Every structure is written in structure tokens, then in C-alpha cells.
Structure 1
Amino acid sequence: MPRLVGRAKRIPVPEPLRSFSLAPRHLSLLAYLLFDGPMTVNELAARLQIAPTTVSLLIGDLSRKGILERREDERDRRRRIVAIAADHEPAISAWLAPGAAAWRNALAPLTPDQRRLFVDTLLAYEAGVEAEGEGAHDPGTS
């Protein structure tokens, strides 16, 4: 797992996006929008498992930089739909699509049950790391 994380961190940000100071917190948001298409703030918050207000702050930051666009939902004008700006979609796709393709290739030979086991294992790992982080405390405060 550390090797995978290390490799992911070494994927360079494409030249057209370097001036935007994108951080890891932007990566997941951009990946959801790239692969799943435009969605609302609440949909993004649910997928990212963070508060809608936090997602709104991220979207505001990326919108001011011109990376994201917000528009009215044609079915419900009270809602806003968030999408990657057309000018930046090619660079974001070139940046994130290879990782998605690698996952598809790695998972393709597996049966549905094997894929489910793999995903469940990753989720269990994530939950374990989170639980350890929440249970950890500063020895100096005991």
C-alpha cells in the first residue's frame, strides 16, 4: 500500500494545471467529476464523505481558478451543477485517466466476487486506518 500511495503522489500535475496549486484534496473531487460527470455539491459531498460546506469551499476555490464551472440545474433552478471547465478537461483527463485505466486493467481478469472481495478489503483497510487515527492520542496528554 505505501508503494501505491507513493507512486500516486509522484504522478506529475500536467503543465497546463501546475500554476493552480492543486492539492491532493482536489484530486478526488476532479476524478469524480471527470469519470462520473457533472453533479451537485451534495452528490459530491456524499461521494467524498465530507461536509457539503467543505465541498463548496473546494468548488469555490477551483471555480475562481476557472477549473470548474457552476450552472443552474435545468430541472430544479435552485440547485447548482458543478462540472469541469471544457478548457481544462483535456489536461485533467490526461492526468487522471491513466490511473483509472490501470485499475480497470488490474480488475478486469477478476470475477465479480473477487472484485467485491478486493473492494471490501480496501474499505476495511481504510476503516482500520481511520479507526487507528481516531484512537491515537498524544502520549503527553495522558
Structure 2
Amino acid sequence: MKVNRSQSAPPEKTAPDTAEAAEAGCSAHEGMRRLIQLLPRITRGLRRRPAGPIVLDNVPLGPTHGSALALIQENRGVTVGALATALDLGMATVSGLVADLERVGFAERSPDPADRRRTLVRIVPGSESLVEVWLEGATAPIMRALQQLRADERTTFVKAMGLLEQELNTPG
């Protein structure tokens, strides 16, 4: 079958039509087409967020700092090695992120009371509310989007993003 390339493409669906199509289900090809359109827009939107990158005490803090800070907050003390593993980054990179968070007063390193050979990274006591405000600002759009989904839809979405990340980063 020959395709006439001079014909105009069908008009772009509006958000409500796309949402209705998603409710009815879409083919893998339609899903791929929409993701190819959406992922660059999402990436640009995340980079333009007022909450990040920000500069505190001449230290620029970006999305990776936010991810590290969220993990530190969630774990109430974590080693640099555990952060490196969770973020899939090298030890030197994560050590630099932690140093940046220390310089702005968000994080501190201290000996692990259970094993003095280990060093834990924690939120600086007294800065918890400032950290929370910064993290909320950085994650608010994602939270609002996820809250619009049912629990089973959130589970499927997160699983799909994990599968996509795995496919994009697996050699071969």
C-alpha cells in the first residue's frame, strides 16, 4: 500500500480525548507514539520547576540533590554507599552531592551509633521543615498527577516506568 505523504496528519488529540482513549486502552504503538511526545515535555517541565535547580549559599541544587535528600529523609540516616546504590551513581558523585547538601545546611554526616566505623548521612536537626518545603515543591506536580490515579493505576504506571528504564539501560 502506498502512503500519500502530502496528506496532512490527523489533528492532535486534546487532553480529554487522550484521557478517554487511555480509559478505553490503547495499542502498544499508540502508547509509544504518545510517550515519544510526552517524555521530552515532561523532562523540560521538570527542569523548569521553580523548586529546582535552586542556588543556596552559592551551591546549585538540582533534581539529583532532591532525590538524595528524599532518600536521606526517608531512611532517617543512610550511608553514602547505600545512597550511591539507590541512586545508581558512583561513590564520588554521591559524596559530592552530600557535601553540597552539607554546605547548604540540609544534611550532616555523623558516626553510626551502632557501628562507629560507619558514617551516616542525616537531615540536620532543625532543618526538617525547610527540607520538607523544598522537597514538596520539587515533587508537587508528580504527586498531583499520581493522586489522580487509582491505586492499581499508580502501581501499573510505576511498574511501566521501571520496565521502560530497564529497557533503555540494558545493553543489547
TM-score, with structure 2 as normaliser = 0.60
Give the percent of matched residue pairs that are identical in Structure 1 and Structure 2. Answer: 33
Which whole-Å CA distance do the structure 1 matches of 2:44 and 2:124 have between them? 29
Match of 1:4 among 42, 45, 54: 42
In the aligned structure 1, how far is the partner of 2:92 from the partner of 2:59? 21
Residues 16 and 91 in structure 1, CA contact (< 8 A), matched pair in contact too: no
Q: Report the Cα distance in structure 2 between the residues aligned to 1:69 and 1:117, rounded to whole angstroms.
A: 36
Q: Which runs of 5+ in 1 are unaligned?
A: 136-142
**Distance in structure 1 (CA, Å) of the matches to 2:65 and 2:73:** 12
Aligned length: 132
Question: CA 1:94–1:43 in structure 2 vs 1: closer, same or farther (change >3 Å)?
Answer: same
Q: Mark the CA change 1:25 to 1:118 in structure 2 (over 3 Å): closer, same or farther.
A: same
CA distance in 2, matches of 1:122, 1:24: 18
Give the one of 46, 50, 61 matched to 1:22: 61
Contact 1:17-1:91 within 8 A present in 2 as well: no
Give the number of the structure whose residues are more often helix, by fraction. 1
Work out whether residues 59 and 103 of structure 2, in 8 Å CA contact, stay in contact via their aligned partners in 1. Answer: no
- Give the ranges of 4+ consecutive aligned residues of structure 1 lying more than 6 Å apart after TM superposition: none
Once the two structures are superposed, the pairs formed by residues 1-142 of structure 1 within 5 Å of their partners are 1-13=39-51, 17=56, 19-86=58-125, 88-100=127-139, 102-108=141-147, 109-112=149-152, 114-131=153-170
The structure, 1 or 2, with the larger RCO (C-alpha pairs under 8 Å, 6+ apart) is 1
- Residue type matched to 2:150 in 1? L
Deviations 1:10-52 (A, max 9, x none): 1224878363222333222122223443211122112101233
CA RMSD of aligned residues (A): 3.0
CA distances 1:67-122 after superposition (whole Å, capped 9, x unpaired): 3200111111111110232454433321221454554454344234x333211111
d(CA) in 1 for partners of 2:78 and 2:143? 23
**Higher-Rg member (1/2):** 2
Instruction: Name the TM-score, length of structure 1 as normaliser.
Output: 0.70
